[in-house]
Amino acid sequence: MDRFDEQIARLIEGLGRVEAALTLLVRERTIKDWYTTEEVSQMLGKAEFTVREWCRLGRMKAEKRRSGRGPHPAWVISHTEVLRYQREGLLPLHGRPVA
């Protein structure tokens, strides 16, 4: 393989990495109506357990939906609620102000 062929091979390899990175960015930036707790945790930089607890305690408005992973429904959080959280923070715990 001569020098030109090596350069073309490196260029093709680099383009493959760029394509993979763009695909990942598009997937992450796609706005959905509902997100899983895993997706929300990644968006907010929090542990998934924390997001589930916020849902369970009513600190974020969420719904339980069938997840297809067994008999237990999973929490889902609306895009609107994610935006509300980003603007205002957590809801008060059971009607009490957040300290």
Q: Which of 37, 57, 34, 45 minimizes the C-alpha distance to 86?
A: 45
Q: How does pLDDT run across 6-64, given as a tens digit for each residue?
A: 999 999 999 999 998 888 777 767 788 999 999 999 999 999 999 999 999 999 999 99
> Is residue 91 domain-shared with residue 50, that is, in the same domain?
yes
pLDDT category of residue 69 using cuts at 50, 70 and 90? low
Residue 80: HSE in the Cβ half-sphere, 13 Å Cα cutoff = 3
Question: For the range 4-11, what are the long-range contacts, defined as Cβ-Cβ under 8 Å and sequence gap of 24 or more?
Answer: none
Q: Which of 60, 55, 97, 64 minimizes the C-alpha distance to 80?
A: 60
Domain count for the chain, please give it.
2
> Is residue 21 domain-shared with residue 54, that is, in the same domain?
no
Question: Is residue 72 predicted with pLDDT exceeding 90?
Answer: no
> Is residue 41 domain-shared with residue 83, that is, in the same domain?
yes
Give pLDDT, residue 8. 93
What is the rounded distance in angstroms from the CA atom of residue 88 to the CA atom of residue 80? 12
pTM tops 0.75, yes or no: no
Q: In which domain, by residue range, is 18 found?
A: 1-30
Question: Is residue 77 predicted with pLDDT exceeding 60?
Answer: yes
